[in-house]
Structure 1
Amino acid sequence: MHVGAVRAEPSSPEPLVERARKGCRDAFADLYGQYVDLIYRYVHARVGAHPLAEDLTSETFARALRRIGDFTWQGRDFGAWLVTIARNLVADHYKSGRYRWELVTDEPPETPLDGPENAVLDALANQTLFQAVRRLGPDQRLCVSLRFLQGMSVAETAEAMGKNAGAVKALQHRAVRTLARTLPHDPRAS
């Protein structure tokens, strides 16, 4: 996998998709080059482990290659189609139960724990935040995930969601307002 490579500004994917649908492997390779970083970041934000993220990213493109003939534009961007495949693979991974046996050790915690009290407060805050995010609508939930968990730009998020930048900004604004209203006060801020 060529994750982290410098890529050229993405051009419109339509001609490449059409060529790939007709069996052109070079066109699919170009699509891979345009979207691999986006898909890797999406998967890594959900699984947290570099090797697993690479595996699921590779499987995303393998499935896309097998199903490229089934892809239809229906108002969706090609990147959004790839994100859907990746999202399903991540969900399948967690449903399989296999993930419970994996221990992620390649990334140390960003900050050391100050003590058991902070660890409990952090766990409760994270649980509360994730519950609040789960209650958002699917578009708002995906927007928040792409923008804040994966650090994507508005343009990258719009591309992944098959929406324009204005729609992504509106989704983000509404989601953040909803979260601000529903989340309780953080006791550590006192």
Structure 2
Amino acid sequence: MRAKRREGTGSMAPGADGDLVAGAREGDEDAWRGLYLLHARRLVVWLASQPSGDAAAAADDIAAEAWTVAATKIGEFRGSDNDFGGWLLSIARNIAVNHRRRALRRQTFPADDVGADELARDLPPHAAAEADDTTRRLLAKLSPREAEVIACIDVVGLDVHATSIALNMSATAVRVARHRGLGRLRKLIGDSDLL
């Protein structure tokens, strides 16, 4: 696909008027590249901060699937270049939820005679490192709503508006969940056993 340069736009910098989104809607490869550069890293970081429940669903895979869905549905999206990040996160969140549901349906349980030590030896090395990640452990102690809000705002760097789009919540609910979650985290961090 050949990139089309939109007349009168000059550079494809992110802005409140949605220049990148408008360009992407028209098939401009530079606009898609700009959206990707603006949102790809924080999408993967946010997905990695969420409990997956499915070892087969890596954050990069879910992110790739979310970008594919966004590309097919870009015509339905209306908003700024920054709002696109919230929309993309909501797509990824739905995909991750579907992966979790499938994992729960496929879930098997080890036999009672297998000890925890034997199971731990069978884990790949990266799984053990992820299990020890302080951020994940702390977020897991919060309610799912608070954990998602804090992951969006404080881990990934979305603003309140984009977070409200991503999580399908009002901006007020986002602020309240963040306030409560941060209060709980302060208490948890004070507990030296967690760190």
Structures share fold, TM-score greater than 0.5: yes
Which residue pairs with 2:156 in the alignment? 152
Which one-letter code corresponds to 1:11 in the other structure? Answer: P
Tell me the alpha carbon deviations over residues 99-127 of structure 1, each in whole angstroms, 9 at most, x when there is no partner. 747x6642433798xxxxxxxxxxxxx69
Give secondary structure in 2 for the equivalent of 1:11: coil
**Aligned pair partner of 1:63 in 65, 69, 72:** 69
Conserved in 1, the CA contact under 8 Å of 2:140 and 2:147?
no
Measured after TM superposition, the shift of residue 157 of structure 1 is: 4.4
Conserved in 2, the CA contact under 8 Å of 1:79 and 1:159?
no
Which residue pairs with 2:21 in the alignment? 17
Tell me the alpha carbon deviations over residues 8-41 of structure 1, each in whole angstroms, 9 at most, x when there is no partner. xx73261010111123233122211211101111
Aligned mates of 1:110, 1:57 — CA distance in 2:
18
TM-score by length of 1: 0.59
Conserved in 1, the CA contact under 8 Å of 2:153 and 2:163?
no
Unaligned runs of 5+ in 1: 1-9, 113-125
Which residue pairs with 1:37 in the alignment? 41
Aligned mates of 1:17, 1:172 — CA distance in 2:
28
Corresponding position: 1:108 with 2:125? no
Larger radius of gyration: 2
RMSD across aligned positions (CA): 4.3
Taking only the aligned residue pairs, the percentage that are identical comes to: 25
Conserved in 2, the CA contact under 8 Å of 1:44 and 1:50?
no
Tell me the alpha carbon deviations over residues 134-177 of structure 1, each in whole angstroms, 9 at most, x when there is no partner. 3xxx4x443223356xx334xx34474169xx977765334333
TM-score by length of 2: 0.57
Q: How many residue pairs were aligned? A: 152
Conserved in 2, the CA contact under 8 Å of 1:64 and 1:82?
yes
